[in-house]
Amino acid sequence: MNANTSLTALQVMQDAPVIPVIVLNDVAHAVPLARAFLAGGIRMLEVTLRTPQALACIEAIAREVPEAMVGAGTVRSASDAQAAANAGARFAVSPGYTSAVGQACRDAKLALLPGVATGSEIMRASEDGFTELKFFPAVQAGGVGMLKAWGGPFFDVKFCPTGGITLQNAPDFLALPNVVCVGGSWLVPAQVAESGDWGRVTRLALETKALHQ
């Protein structure tokens, strides 16, 4: 899979047991962080659009670390999707779902993991052709029990639970047949970027890669 190949949402989910949820406040941290993840065997990197520097960070990773697959998180509008694509993002993750965001990602050729927390939201996303979904906020919205309950009526839907996931509870989610991967911010502790302890990121990535799907 090279940098010019279009991704599917399922490919994004299947690449590793976890998609790191990354908040970056300094563009200088983007490239070394991406390289640290690659060293730990994780390529799919979700950089959230929660800081003024996020798009510049995505652009830097896409340009300097093309073997990584950088995506944009917290995509809330069609303009977010287009800006992410323009910056070089390969996929998008949204905290909720609207048809406008779904269509914008299709137009921009971005694989999309739409966020859902209810059965109605799953049905709405599925109607628009999205059956690989982010369950968010996973722990707060019902956790493992909710995913088990959804396994019957939504037997054809695959999930990436995100929100409240830790290295400790990730195996409980990954053991479910309708869970392909999880999203987690634990791989980038807040102090790591400030201290430049990229080795710790690589160690956490390797530890996470060892989780069985």
Rounding to the nearest 10 degrees, give the CA dihedral for residues 135, 136, 137, 142: -30
State yes or no: is 46 an active-site residue: yes
Rg value, the chain, Cα? 16
Cα–Cα distances (Å) from 31 to 14, 65, 175, in that order, read 23, 7, 32
Q: Among residues 59, 132, 134, 158, which one is catalytic?
A: 134
Instruction: Give the three-class secondary structure for 167.
Output: coil
CA atoms of 114 and 96, how far apart (whole Å): 6
Angle (CA) 20 199 3, round 5°: 50
State yes or no: is 64 an active-site residue: no
- Which residue type occupies 178? N
Q: Among residues 46, 59, 132, 158, which one is catalytic?
A: 46
Catalytic residue list: 46, 134
